[in-house]
Amino acid sequence: MRYQLDRQRYAVDTLDGETIIMDTVEGRLLLLSEGATIVWSALQAGPWSSELLDRLEAQHGRALRDDAASLHEDLLQRAILHPSDGEDPSASAFV
């Protein structure tokens, strides 16, 4: 499944192996750890799938696979990511 990020609401940058997601409406920051940044990068490279989780596990171990599933769920619950319908011009479809 592909997901999108609302680029008008969220600003994202990666510095020194950590990703920062800023909610420009509420002024909140979410700082992703080095492992979560690996997952974020993987999400940008392709759709969320069992193959993605398998690849993360093969490259980084079982713990990162488990963390990936938790991060994915957290990003959805916080509405940072949402399923892409391809209709929102302010959104950036990347996953």
Structure tokens at 7: 């680029």
What is the average per-residue pLDDT within 22-27? 96
Tell me the pLDDT tens digit for each residue of 47-85. 788 888 898 999 999 999 988 989 989 998 988 988 876
Please state the pTM of the whole predicted model: 0.75
Higher pLDDT, 34 or 45: 34
Return all residues near 3 (Cβ < 8 A) that are at least 6 apart: 43, 48, 76, 81, 82, 83, 84, 93, 94, 95
Q: What integer pLDDT is reported at residue 20 of this predicted model?
A: 96
Q: What integer pLDDT is reported at residue 93 of this predicted model?
A: 44
Tell me the pLDDT tens digit for each residue of 1-21. 888 888 889 999 998 889 999
Q: Which residues pair with 30 in a beta bridge?
A: 21
